[in-house]
Amino acid sequence: MSKIAVTSEGPSLDDLVDPRFGRAAGFLVVDLDTMKTEYIDNGQTQVMAQGAGIQATELVARAGVSWVLSGYVGPKAFQALSAAGINVGQNLEGMTVRQAVERFKAGGVESAQAPNREAGR
Amino acid sequence: MIVSVASGKGGTGKTTVTASLASVWDGPVHAVDLDVEEPNLHLFLNPVIAGAEKAHMPVPVVEEALCTHCGACSDLCQFKAISDLKTLVLTFPEMCHGCGGCMAICPEKAISRGTRELGEISWGVSGKVHFLMGRLRVGEAMSPPLMRHVKAMLGRMLDAKGGDAIIDAPPGVSCPAVNAVMDSDVILLVTEPTPFGFYDFELAWRAFTPFNRPMGAVINRAGLGNDAVLRFCSDKGIPILASIPYDRAIAEAYSQGRIIAETSPELRETFVALKGEIQALARQAGRKEAAHA
């Protein structure tokens, strides 16, 4: 069973990908085999003064995902995700979660080698 | 007595006022640069530095072999300086505020004290003035932890040598500025009568009012701008303790690192009078406190 998390503006596959990782509205955890989803609200992380990317990493790591798909990922989040062995797919904003997952399944998402956002953004 | 010299806006003349006040103070006086992000009081007082030491803060170091990934440290830390990812624990020492909570809460005693260097404290003398300053390490994001070390050192200096202290505070109204003024007996707000000066003066007055300490205004570059600051002070009952004229000769003395109270008899008199006003304000507040007690 392979699960991935997609930063999402809402709880369904037809919601838009939230471009932010740490301060995303939430994460849609998708089981790639069954396409079953589970939504993790990230509202409490959004209001943190600092450390949002790290807190968000805790949430997705505890959900047991192997990939995160998002728009932008900052340096501390990237470091934490890498340490947790989670791959990062970036620059997937401007589409629905379903579109992002389909692109991923078709092999159209690369595992990022570096963060694409400065800290605190 | 501890007097802090603060301002909302930067560049209004805090250091100019601090250096001049220290030069005319009678009795033992300690001039303290708490603007640790960019200290500059030493450029005017030219102290002979007698000693210096590094200041540190405790940060967590995790012994992975003892960790059971219970997550207690991670849940406690509001700054995510320690994060339990269930298979490993990550620390971000640069984000730690040094509260020690993670070390206290860990049931396995798996977290020990590491250190993060905050910066350097140095001290010395400038004539009859005792001098103390902090300088933040380049790359360090938080200044209040170093400021607390400098203030603790000031406490020891005051215990040993007695006298009063004049604190050159950082500008603004956020944590560093609040940290600098919160233990003072009198807060001076240095401002200039421009729209920018007034806007930030009001912010500072509102930020520091809850401390319930006597506050007074010093108008620098008087003659510039408009009378908005003066009207505000009059409305709110904030005493204007001194006015320093907008004068090219003062700017020239400043640019040469000179103490302006030492450049003319008139300016010296301005600061001697300011010293008297500050002492009167402190006495008045002391009497009020005694009456309430």
Q: List, as one string, the DSSP characters of chain A.
A: --EEEEEESSSSTTSBBPSBSTT-SEEEEEETTT--EEEEE-HHHHT-SS-HHHHHHHHHHHTT-SEEE-SB--HHHHHHHHHTT-EEE----SSBHHHHHHHHHTT--PPPSS--S-TT-
Bridge partner list, B54: B120
| Both tokens assigned to B108 | 């396995």
Domains and CATH numbers, chain B: 2-55+119-292 (3.40.50.300), 57-117 (3.30.70.20)
DSSP letter for B224, please: B
CA angle B235, B241, B247 (to 5 degrees): 105
Task: Report how far residue A8's alpha carbon sits from residue B281's, in angstroms, rounded to the nearest whole number.
Answer: 58
Q: What is the pLDDT along chain A (121 residues), one digit of tens a residue?
A: 589 999 999 999 999 999 999 999 999 999 999 999 999 999 999 988 889 999 999 999 999 999 999 999 999 999 999 999 999 999 999 999 999 999 999 999 999 998 887 766 5
d(CA B69, CA B74): 9
- Cα end-to-end distance, chain B, whole Å: 19
Closest CB to B79 among A51, A58, A62: A51
* Cβ separation A84–B95 shorter than 8 A: no
Q: Judge: A61–B86 Cβ closer than 8 Å, yes or no.
A: yes
- Asked whether the beta carbons of A102 and A69 are under 8 A apart, the reply is no
Are the Cβ atoms of B92 and A84 closer than 8 angstroms? no
Q: Which amino acid is at B100?
A: G
Asked if A57's CB is within 8 angstroms of B83's CB, the reply is yes
- DSSP reduced 3-state for B171: coil
pLDDT of residue B291: 76
Q: What is the mean pLDDT of residues B269-287?
A: 94
Interface of A with B in 75-114 (CB under 8 A): 76, 79-80, 83-85
- The Cα–Cα gap between B241 and B278 comes to 8
| Among candidates B78, B81, B90 on the partner chain, residue whose Cβ is nearest the Cβ of A83 | B90
Higher pLDDT, B46 or B289: B46
Query: Residue B82 pLDDT > 90, yes or no?
Result: yes
pLDDT digits (tens, 9 = 90+) for B177-226: 999 999 999 999 999 999 999 999 999 999 999 999 999 999 999 999 99
B75 touches chain A (CB under 8 A): no
- Provide the pLDDT for residue A116: 86
Name the residue facing A50 among B74, B79, B85 (closest C-beta): B79
pLDDT at B285: 85
Q: Is B273 on the interface with A (CB under 8 A)?
A: no
- Quick one: tokens of B290? 């005694």
pLDDT of residue A118: 76
Tokens of B101: 């909570």
Residue A67: the pLDDT is 97
**pLDDT for the residue numbered A50:** 86
The ranges assigned to domains in chain A are 3-105
Give the strand pairing for B215-222 and B186-191: parallel
What's the complex ipTM?
0.81
Q: Reply yes or no on whether the pLDDT at B290 is more than 80.
A: no
Confidence at residue A121, expressed as pLDDT on a 0 to 100 scale: 59
Average pLDDT over residues B78-87: 91
Closest residue by Cα to residue A8 from A71, A66, A54: A71
Instruction: Please report the pLDDT score of residue A65 as a whole number.
Output: 96
Tens digits of per-residue pLDDT, B87-119? 899 999 999 999 999 999 999 999 999 999 999
Q: Which pair of structure tokens corresponds to residue B165? A: 């202290």
- DSSP label at residue B117: E
**For B20, phi and psi rounded to 5 degrees?**
-70, -40
Distance CA B284, CA B208 (A): 19
CB-CB neighbors (< 8 A) of B77 in chain A: 51
Interface contact A79-B87, CB threshold 8 A: no
- Return the C-alpha torsion angle A39, A43, A46, A50, nearest 10: -100
CA–CA separation, B134 vs B115, rounded Å?
18
Q: Taking 90 as the threshold, does the pLDDT of residue B287 lie above it?
A: no
Question: Any idea which fold A3-105 has?
Answer: Nucleotidyltransferase; domain 5 (3.30.420)
Specify the residue for token string 């001049």: B20
Chain A residues closer than 8 Å to B83 by CB: 54-55, 57-58, 80
